[in-house]
Structure formats: C-alpha cells, structure tokens
C-alpha cells in the first residue's frame, strides 16, 4: 500500500470480509485477532483482485516497510524528519541503517538515497502540475537547499528542467507503485 487509495481499498476488503482490525497504515494492517487459513486465503484473493498483494514473506515485508516510510515522508508528511534520514529510518525500523541500506540495495537494485530522489522528483512533478506553488516554495517544501539544487536533480533524473516540464502540454508522471 503506497497510497491513500490503496489504504481505502484494503479497508473496504476487510470490512466486506468482516475482518476486525485495529489500524490500517500505509503497508501495514494490525488485525484484532489471527485469521483462520480459510479467511487468510480469502483475504489474499480479494486483495489480489484489487491489484494488491498480501505479503507474508519477512524480507518482502521489511522492504515494503522501508518503502512506506519513504513514501509517507516524501508524499504525505508536512515536514521532513528533524534528524538525518538514515537515523530516522534506523529509529523507525529499530534496526541498523547500514544493514537496512545494504538489504534494500540488494533487493531493489537501487540505493535508498536514489529511491528517495525518485520519489521527490515525482512529488515535484505533482506539485508543478497542481500549479499552486512556485519552484522556490516547492524546493522549500521538499527540503532542497535551493531552487538550483532542485532543478539540477530534476534535470539529472528527467532530462528536463522544471520550467520546461511545467510548460509541456502533456506531462508524464510515474505511478508510485512503479518506482
């Protein structure tokens, strides 16, 4: 679950199957009680119909938790963590950052830093398309040191300047699930 829409879909499936839950967060559901094998299989099938996968593999769950922390931070948080992201992630996951980073890189084929940059670029595209904030405001919102730094990173990833992207008639974005 990397979006609020996914979260709503999961909630709907749980309610349809009469499965009690305590909470639903991005990428994680806390159930009130353990499910029977039959109910578990039904949940898995219903989520799959919605394009969602129920993960029960420990490694996949770890990667998904890292991804969801990044998505939450870049796309939904009002402010960036007060500490360095590596410390923030390490504390949130209660694990050593270097181990998490190494595992993430081996599994996803991309570093955590590169993954964060890709998400920031998608968020920049989204904010440019909304056309409610200036580039200066976007750079501040996403914690860039300057508009020049944002522009340089945007061009490096997309091949376009933010201004050119803004003036395009068809602006292509990547689904968060596809990053």
pLDDT tens, position by position, 12-27: 999 999 999 998 876 6
pLDDT tens per residue across span 41-66: 999 899 888 888 777 778 888 998 89
CATH number for the domain harbouring residue 153: 1.10.10.60
SS3 13: helix
Last residue of a domain, one of 89, 110, 131: 110
Residue 1: pLDDT band (50, 70, 90) is very low
Residue 119 has pLDDT above 90, yes or no: yes
What is the domain extent for residue 71?
Answer: 58-110
Give the chain's domain count: 3
Is the domain of 140 the same as that of 159?
yes
- If you average pLDDT over residues 106-122, what whole number do you get? 94
The shares of helix, strand and coil residues in the chain, as percent rounded to the nearest 5, are 65, 5, 30
- The CA-atom distances, in angstroms, between 124 and each of 11, 20, 91, 121 are 29, 37, 27, 5
Backbone angles phi, psi at 121, to 5 degrees: -65, -40
Is the domain of 119 the same as that of 174?
yes
Maximum alpha-carbon separation in the chain: 55
Q: What is the pTM of this model?
A: 0.71
Is the domain of 40 the same as that of 88?
no
């Amino acid at each position: 679950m990397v979006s609020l829409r996914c979260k709503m879909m999961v909630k709907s499936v749980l309610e349809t199957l009469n499965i009690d839950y305590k909470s639903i967060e991005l990428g994680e559901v806390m159930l009130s009680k353990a499910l029977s094998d039959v109910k578990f299989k039904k949940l898995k099938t219903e989520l799959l119909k919605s394009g969602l996968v129920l993960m029960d593999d420990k490694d996949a769950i770890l990667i998904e938790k890292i991804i969801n922390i990044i998505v939450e931070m870049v796309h939904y948080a009002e402010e960036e963590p007060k500490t360095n992201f590596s410390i923030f992630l390490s504390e949130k996951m209660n694990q050593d950052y270097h181990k998490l980073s190494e595992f993430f890189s081996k599994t996803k084929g991309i570093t955590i830093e590169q993954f964060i940059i890709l998400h920031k670029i998608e968020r920049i595209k989204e904010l440019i398309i909304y056309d409610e904030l200036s580039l200066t405001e976007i750079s501040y919102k996403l914690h860039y040191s300057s508009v020049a730094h944002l522009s340089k990173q945007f061009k490096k990833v997309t091949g376009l300047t933010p201004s050119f992207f803004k003036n395009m008639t068809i602006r292509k974005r990547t689904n968060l699930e596809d990053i």
